[in-house]
Chain A
Amino acid sequence: MSKAFELSKEGAELVKKELTRYETKHSAIIPALYQVQKENGWVPPESIEYLAGLMGLPESHINEVFSFYTMFNKVPTGKLHVQVCTNISCSMNGGRELAKKLCERFNVKPGEVSKDGLVTISQVECLGSCDTAPMMQVNDRYIENLDFEKAVQALKEMGAQ
């Protein structure tokens, strides 16, 4: 039996406010899921049940949205969620090699959490920053015009070992 999930008081308030903002309640699903991810780091299955109760929507509707979008983390991530873009522009400028090297450097497999719980490295599709390829997104920060040393340096500054 998984633990019951609950948002912080402010988080719950925010979700309730979002509910009144749009024509349909369904429009508030994405902001609500973002709030969960912001507070929890990822979106656990229990939170879907919790949101269903909070928002007065069927679980299946929330789960449909949740499973559709890849930007909701379906498993726990490390403290730094490193998303390396491997779409066309970034790939042509060495994005894939960068992701591979970073995995080796921090001793972690793609999509998994490093042993110290600090880093998760995943390859993602276009993040809309093709002019500064290759690039990566660490949590909600863009780090652009990368090479391997610059990426490692940036991650170290943010606390990775």
Chain B
Amino acid sequence: MPKCTINGKEIEVPQGTTVIEAFKMLGDDICHYCWHPGLSVAGVCRLCMVHIEGMPKLQIACNTEVRDGMVVTNQTDDVKDTVKWGLDFHLINHPLDCPICDQAGECGLQDQYMKFGKYDPEMAEPKVKKHKVVDLGPTVVLDSERCILCSRCVRFTEEVTETNELGIFNRGDRAEIGTVQGRPLDNNYSLNTVDICPVGALTSKDFRFRQRVWYLKDSESICPGCSTGCNVKVYFNEEGLWRVKPRYNAEVNGHWMCDEGRNTYKYVNAAHRLKKVKAGQSGDWSQEEVFPETMKLGEKFRAAAEKNPESIAVLVTGQYTNEEFKNFFEFVADELKVKNIFHWINNPEKFDDFDGLLLRGDKNPNTYGLKEEMKSRGGFKSLEDLQGKMSQFEWVLVLGPENQSQFPDLKEKVDLLSQAKSVIWLSACETPELDALRAPTHQIPMKTYIEKEGSFTNFKGLVQEFKRGTTVIEDALTLQEVVALLRGHELDYRNRPQPIGGTKKNHFTNVRGQL
């Protein structure tokens, strides 16, 4: 393992490490655009200049391997001067339209310029006009004038997705990113190009102009979109969630995530959510208060179970956390001795699909955890057993999916359950299909992944914990809370997490006195 000195600090690095990687390991500042840890080295931006003792000229850190005894610095005057001028050249044709640019606030060009910039540009030539607002496809918009031709997005489509949609066409100051004959950039990973774009050239159609990034908070979470369990950051404010971005985890998703996973913020927002218990049946629904209604249900449910556990069926989806499943099965399977437990999967034909990168056909974040939990309890009964037997059941409890649209057979299930005597359906979202249920039903509003904490076990058995980020629907319940209410326990609803900036009184107003 070669040892080198970087800005006076000694570091030992694995063979083959580049100088820029050594800088990153030390956490030292180094200006760069085109280098990205998840892509090949291009060496086109010429900004990661370093001075290496014994070398006559400055070298680029991204394409220089560390050798034993190397003494590297980027603190000399000539390095700083070179970077300064390099940045100025990058800005020759850049429109400097930060006030109207969607990238502002998380822009590599802004960040680097604040640190290393010249602050006194000497370029008097008129700027080259290039294409603006180029529709690159269903998800991405391109502004060529802002592009500094770092080629990260081109390398991404070449190396990661291997779809090769993007290229750098024409030459010199007319060179532009584009697709051949304006064909769309249409793959399930296209929005990663927006993430890695260090400037505002590629922006997301879904997110652009909707929020300024400095008004958003973020929270680390796990994508609930499929069983891969990509590590993500969710961005939100008091109005709800705005976007999902990937977070680096070498074991699971690397630097990337799929476009489908990025949509997992949409159904979380209040407009799509159940806010109260919806009681009734097809065409006749009433809104009931969550806590008393669920407790009332619990009494009837427990009474039926004590009389005859066979009169109860439970339909489970792998959409809840390990902790919730444990708690739930302890109550239903161990305490109430319910044996009719069925596993509902999103799509039997596509369940084992895998696109070769990240996306899996199993649209549940925790199928593995669910199966583990059921192993000791004798596993599931086959779903076919359910056909034609519905009317035998007094109660059917459905642990429904968070994002119901992922389950294409929802309508069939609704038809099937319409034959039951009464249904309790736990669900985060309002769904028109569900409202067609003809049996007497209680739809109980559930919390989504960003509103609770726990852990998901991904397809290969990796347990990933996540924390609560925000609360959108205050009255929505976690599965543990449902279990507690069904057991007949009171919940201290005053101390429950509140939405940020909501109009309701918060925990502190509840506990403070009055004068």
Complex Cα–Cα for A61 and B167 (A):
7
Q: Is B169 an interface residue (CB 8 A)?
A: yes
Stretch of A13-21, A62-70, A99-107 that contacts chain B:
A62-70
Q: Which residues of B contact A64 (CB under 8 A)?
A: 167-169
Q: Is A31 an interface residue (CB 8 A)?
A: no
Q: Which chain A residues (63-87) contact chain B, with CB distance < 8 Å? A: 63-64, 67-70
Q: Is B181 an interface residue (CB 8 A)?
A: yes
- In the assembled complex, the CB of B460 is this many whole angstroms from the nearest CB of chain A, namely 32
CB-CB nearest in chain B for A2: B181
- Asked if B169 contacts A59 (CB within 8 A), the reply is no
Q: Which residues of B contact A70 (CB under 8 A)?
A: 171
Number of B positions contacting A (CB below 8 A): 14
- In the assembled complex, the CB of A128 is this many whole angstroms from the nearest CB of chain B, namely 19
Complex Cα–Cα for A92 and B141 (A):
46
Q: Is B165 an interface residue (CB 8 A)?
A: yes
- Asked if B170 contacts A60 (CB within 8 A), the reply is no
Contact of B167 (CB < 8 Å), options: A45, A60, A69: A60
With known contacts A48-B180, A60-B180, A63-B180, A68–B165 Cβ distance under 8 A: no
With known contacts A58-B164, A59-B164, A60-B164, A67–B181 Cβ distance under 8 A: no
- Asked if B181 contacts A60 (CB within 8 A), the reply is no
Complex Cα–Cα for A58 and B158 (A):
9
- Asked if A67 contacts B171 (CB within 8 A), the reply is yes
Q: How many A-B residue pairs have CB under 8 A?
A: 31
Complex Cα–Cα for A94 and B463 (A):
77
User: What is the interface of chain B mostly: helix, strand, loop, or mixed?
Assistant: mixed
How would residues 150 to 193 of chain B score, 1 for a CB under 8 Å from any chain A CB and 0 otherwise?
A: 00001001100000111111110000000111000000000000
Q: Which residues of A contact B170 (CB under 8 A)?
A: 67-68
- Asked if A60 contacts B171 (CB within 8 A), the reply is no
How would residues 35 to 70 of chain A score, 1 for a CB under 8 Å from any chain B CB and 0 otherwise?
A: 000000000010010000000001111011001111
- Asked if A63 contacts B167 (CB within 8 A), the reply is yes
- Asked if A68 contacts B180 (CB within 8 A), the reply is no
Complex Cα–Cα for A67 and B181 (A):
12
- In the assembled complex, the CB of A35 is this many whole angstroms from the nearest CB of chain B, namely 19
Q: Which residues of B contact A61 (CB under 8 A)?
A: 164, 167
Complex Cα–Cα for A59 and B163 (A):
10
Contact of A63 (CB < 8 Å), options: B157, B158, B169, B171: B169
With known contacts A60-B179, A60-B180, A67–B164 Cβ distance under 8 A: no
- In the assembled complex, the CB of B166 is this many whole angstroms from the nearest CB of chain A, namely 6
Complex Cα–Cα for A60 and B182 (A):
11
Q: Which residues of B contact A59 (CB under 8 A)?
A: 164, 180
Most chain B beta carbons < 10 A, residue from A45, A68, A70: A68
Complex Cα–Cα for A67 and B90 (A):
22
Complex Cα–Cα for A64 and B179 (A):
10
- Asked if B181 contacts A45 (CB within 8 A), the reply is yes
Q: Which residues of A contact B180 (CB under 8 A)?
A: 48, 59-60, 63
Q: Which residues of B contact A63 (CB under 8 A)?
A: 167, 169, 180
How would residues 114 to 133 of chain A score, 1 for a CB under 8 Å from any chain B CB and 0 otherwise?
A: 00000000000000000000
- In the assembled complex, the CB of A1 is this many whole angstroms from the nearest CB of chain B, namely 12
Complex Cα–Cα for A45 and B183 (A):
12
Complex Cα–Cα for A63 and B167 (A):
8
Q: Which chain B residues (176-232) contact chain A, with CB distance < 8 Å? A: 179-181
Kindly list the 4 A-B residue pairs having the minimum CB-CB distance in the complex, ordered from nearest. Answer: A58-B164, A60-B167, A67-B169, A59-B180
Residues of A within 8 A of B (CB): 45, 48, 58-61, 63-64, 67-70
- A-B contacts, 5 of them at CB < 8 A, read A48-B180, A58-B164, A67-B170, A68-B169, A69-B171
11 additional contacts, CB 8 Å, given A60-B180, A68-B169?
Answer: A45-B181, A58-B158, A60-B157, A60-B165, A60-B167, A60-B179, A63-B180, A64-B169, A68-B170, A68-B171, A70-B171
